[in-house]
A and B are shown apart, each in its own frame.
Chain A
Amino acid sequence: MASSARLRLYIGLVSMLALTSNADEGAPPDSYLINSGREIYQQYCAACHGAAAEGAPNWKKPNDQGEMPPPPHGPEGHTWRHSDAMLQRMISQGWRDPFNKTQRLTMPAFQKELPPKEIAAVITYLKTLWTTQQRQFQRQESQARSPNPSQSQLLEK
């Protein structure tokens, strides 16, 4: 983790009130937090999901090893369909597609590398890739499946 990224993340956390009010309208959140999340994403996620979060080619079909390739995170993907709590859990603990032909995790676990609030910053960045309607949908999902602690609480810590 680059120290500058951490510094920007903590500066970004100061602007959480702005994030919350913007999120209410389905708008992208605070730019400092977004930049921090983008830097963490580039360091830990981009190798598989792509520098522009474009995902792997043919991500909808199992690869030669019978595993699902990394999906894109933009409007064409499905990241926006998951609540904050589920995204936090998937990044932290990983996830294995039960129809994988191998026993490996389909999505690796990052709990050793990334504390919850840095994962929350990545999720904040990912939200900038979605349409307004997708952000609104995802916000409703997050409220309906309320995490403990919430994304906002994680970022306030």
Chain B
Amino acid sequence: MASMQFKKLLRAYKTVNFLMGILFLYGSSVVSAAGLPESKVVSLSHNPDSSDLIVAYSQALYRLDTETQEWLSISLPAEVERVTAVVAKAGSPQAIYLAAPGAGVLHSVDGGKSWDLRNEGLPSKEVSGLIRHAKQPDTLYAVIPETGIFRSENAGGDWQLMHAGPENMTDIIVHSDMPDSMQTGWIFAATKAGVSRSMDCFCLWREAGSLAGEITGLTYDPKQPAQIYAATDKGVFHSQDGGENWDPVGGLKLDVTALLVTTSGDLYAGTRTGELFKAVDRSKRWEQLDGF
């Protein structure tokens, strides 16, 4: 009898140990929608080669399979207290970059199992924004407040200051391969008073249209790179001409803090209170994805 109980206990221990091992090995776990944080969605990213979204909250990171609606928690490294941006690397489904003030830029090649720092050339670790180049997987741009925009062309191996950025720039920038740049594309930057735009030579910042107010979310359509989306406290707006003219996208009255258009053309919006929405019916209505 005692022997059977011991065997049961041993089996249960082995099972738990096995599951813990998987959890440790992969640095991530499946969670229910009800378990998602209610804090601000700070950043959304998408790997063009998969249907996954990477959803960054201030203190949590998830991979959302948009086909199965399954949320997978990705463990953050110990040195990260707050996440400000996430970037999925194009062409490498398991590669993720994080921006985390205090830690700087972090890189994982194994879906978040392990991380390494990529801060060579940055004057501080207070990185508040991070994006990827539209077409060059190893080119990244990082924002350090009151210093400017840095560029790395070797996957974060080293960084170079490119420009202080436009006046009143916030932490959100976007690279678009919209044509007619003198270099490879355009940088769109959120400011406290609209969207600013420069070719990615950082030659000259100009106001992109007359969208008023602080920009709280910004993205572009990778298949139609002149199509830009921006969020303000008045809602989400869409430009079809590289930011010259803006029209409202109806239906979402919440505080949007992150926007993303995937390669399949789907528009996603994350909010200050942690909800995630997908625009449907040609952006006439929004479908909530997180089950709150």
Are the C-beta atoms of B179 and A82 separated by less than 8 Å?
A: no
Bound CA span A116–B206, Å: 32
Q: A60 near B: Cβ within 8 Å?
A: yes
**Chain A residues closer than 8 Å to B183, beta-carbon distance:** 82, 86
- A42 to chain B: closest CB distance in Å? 24
Decide: A82 near B201, CB < 8 A? Known: A98-B179, A98-B180: yes
Q: B12 near A: Cβ within 8 Å?
A: no
Are the C-beta atoms of B201 and A99 separated by less than 8 Å?
A: no
Q: B204 near A: Cβ within 8 Å?
A: yes
Determine chain A's interface SS by DSSP, over half rule.
loop
Bound CA span A81–B201, Å: 6
Q: B185 near A: Cβ within 8 Å?
A: no
Question: In this complex, what residue of A is CB-closest to B205?
Answer: A60
- Count of interface residues, chain A, beta-carbon cutoff 8 Å: 14
Identify A90's interface contact among B153, B182, B206, B244, CB under 8 A. Answer: B182
Bound CA span A96–B180, Å: 8
Are the C-beta atoms of A99 and B244 separated by less than 8 Å?
A: yes
Q: B202 near A: Cβ within 8 Å?
A: yes
Q: Which of A40-94 contact B (CB under 8 A)?
A: 60, 68, 71, 78, 81-82, 86, 90
- A119 to chain B: closest CB distance in Å? 16
Question: In this complex, what residue of A is CB-closest to B184?
Answer: A145
Are the C-beta atoms of A82 and B182 separated by less than 8 Å?
A: yes
- B47 to chain A: closest CB distance in Å? 26
Bound CA span A96–B244, Å: 16
B164-181 CB contact bits vs A (8 Å, 1 = yes)?
000000000000001110
Q: B203 near A: Cβ within 8 Å?
A: yes
Q: B111 near A: Cβ within 8 Å?
A: no
**Chain A residues closer than 8 Å to B180, beta-carbon distance:** 96-98
Q: B104 near A: Cβ within 8 Å?
A: no
Q: B222 near A: Cβ within 8 Å?
A: no
Identify B182's interface contact among A60, A86, A99, CB under 8 A. Answer: A86
Decide: A144 near B153, CB < 8 A? Known: A78-B203, A98-B242: yes
Q: List 30 A-B contacts (CB under 8 A).
A: A60-B204, A60-B206, A68-B204, A71-B203, A71-B204, A78-B201, A78-B202, A78-B203, A78-B204, A81-B201, A81-B202, A81-B203, A82-B182, A82-B183, A82-B201, A82-B203, A86-B182, A86-B183, A86-B201, A90-B182, A95-B182, A96-B180, A97-B180, A98-B178, A98-B180, A98-B242, A99-B206, A99-B242, A99-B244, A144-B153
